[in-house]
Amino acid sequence: MYGAVAFDLDDTLAVTRRDRETLLRSAAERAGVALTFDRREYLEAHREHSGSESRRPVFEALLSDPDEAAALTRAYRAAILDAIEPVDAAASVLETLSGRYRLGLLTDGPGRTQREKIGRLGWRDAFDAVVVSGGIDAPKPAPGSFRGLADALGVPPEAVVYVGDDPARDVEGAATAGMVPVQVRYDGGPGASPLAADTVERSALATLPGVVEGLADRAEDA
């Protein structure tokens, strides 16, 4: 029934050891840049420049000095890469699923940073297809990004189980594109989406292969 399992990256398969706001403050101190914007303003600028190869356009929109924007871009990228780590059992889950399905990754964010994260995590060869949605000008939850991943995997969207944490960007986006969404949940995270075909606790990610098999069994019985 299902030919592929696809994943979101951040907060699904990988997390940072410190929260993003703390990492940004630390990067600003390292770069000698005064933060004149708050988290809300940063997120708005990030959304507006989601198709960028780096965060430099984001910081250029928030800071008046282009040299400071460049310095903060470098420092924040380094801080993120230093802090990124895989969720417990993520590597074994990918290995298990790869024996049964094609694996895909769909991630928002600056292309360079996201690719470097994948390399830092040791997953350059873990996926059959990787799509950084900004690179196709269709950031999540646009269905085009999910369909683009399905095309890259060589399967129709309805044959893809998509695993992600965000109710809107991941679950709703995948469902709209015709995929079967599984929501990853964690303490302090968003509530369960009614569009999710199933859920899995991030602390129990090792159970995901069983969840996928259960969905396949239910689909065959339907």
On whether both 170 and 112 belong to a single domain, the answer is yes
On whether both 134 and 194 belong to a single domain, the answer is yes
Mind listing the pLDDT tens digit for each residue in 82-119? Answer: 999 999 999 999 999 999 999 999 998 888 889 999 99
The answer on pLDDT for 138 being more than 80 is no
Question: Average model confidence (pLDDT) for the chain?
Answer: 94
pLDDT confidence of residue 111: 85
The answer on pLDDT for 209 being more than 80 is yes
Cβ atoms of residues 201 and 185 within 8 Å: yes
CATH code where residue 109 lies: 3.40.50.1000
* Count of structural domains within the chain: 2
Mind listing the pLDDT tens digit for each residue in 162-200? Answer: 999 999 999 999 999 999 999 999 999 999 999 999 999
- Separation between Cα atoms, residue 68 and residue 81, nearest integer Å: 20
On whether both 197 and 109 belong to a single domain, the answer is yes
Domain boundary among 47, 62, 83: 83
Domain boundary among 48, 83, 118: 83
pLDDT confidence of residue 53: 82
Q: Which residue has the higher pLDDT, 136 or 188?
A: 188
**CA proximity to 198, closest of 5, 15, 9:** 5
Q: Note the pTM of the prediction, 2 decimals.
A: 0.92
Residue 136 — pLDDT band, cuts 50, 70, 90? Answer: low
On whether both 104 and 45 belong to a single domain, the answer is no
- The amino acid that residue 137 corresponds to is D
The answer on pLDDT for 222 being more than 70 is no
On whether both 189 and 125 belong to a single domain, the answer is yes
